[in-house]
Amino acid sequence: MKLYTASSEETLRARKLLTDWAGDGILTKAQYERLEQETISELRTTNIFLRLVLFLFTLISVGGAVALFFVVSRPSEQTSGVLFLIFAALCYAAAELAASQARLYRYGIEEALAVCSVGFLCAGMQALFFSGSIFSSKPDAAEFLVPATGAVFSL
């Protein structure tokens, strides 16, 4: 399942090639401007620096908001697991909305929301299915299953 159409991604690739060719001097300025008009994409992208900063601040905001919720409500461990799963679903929905409605493409924000979704999913499963903390004095080997699986699949 892909949110972006093949033509949108093809247009972005073509536009990147145009920029490269213009930089290499293969295209004249007039040719570049004409071809640029023919490869306008509806997707929003940004440069790598802004992408990294947006990614970082989205992580900080989402993490802070979830931590604030837990500090204020102080739920039990089982309830925390359910809440983490709900936050995972919310983050995933927000990432989908950012990509499909706001047309963000490698913008940092939707990527950070997807990362938060996976992190909350792992935390929720850990809290729900393994009652003891992995930081307890005698951790069970099975308690490392969810973090290890999450780490392997994120590679």
Q: Which residues bind another protein (CB under 8 A)?
A: 12, 15, 40-41, 43-47, 50, 53-54, 57-58, 60-61, 63-65, 67-68, 71-72, 105, 109
- CB of 95 or CB of 109, closer to another protein: 109
Query: Closest separation between CB of residue 97 and another protein, Å?
Result: 15
Which residues fall within 8 angstroms of residue 10, CB to CB, at 6 or more apart? none
Nearer to another protein, 40 or 141 (CB): 40
Helix (H, G, I), strand (E, B) or coil at 58: helix
Lookup result for tokens 């309830």? 79
Alpha carbon distance 61, 78 (integer Å): 24
Q: Residue 43 or 118: which CB sits closer to another protein?
A: 43
Give the DSSP letter string of 99-145: HHTS-BSS-SHHHHHHHHHHHHHHHHHHHHH--S-TTSSS--GGGGH
Nearer to another protein, 27 or 112 (CB): 112
Contact 83, 137 (CB under 8 A): no
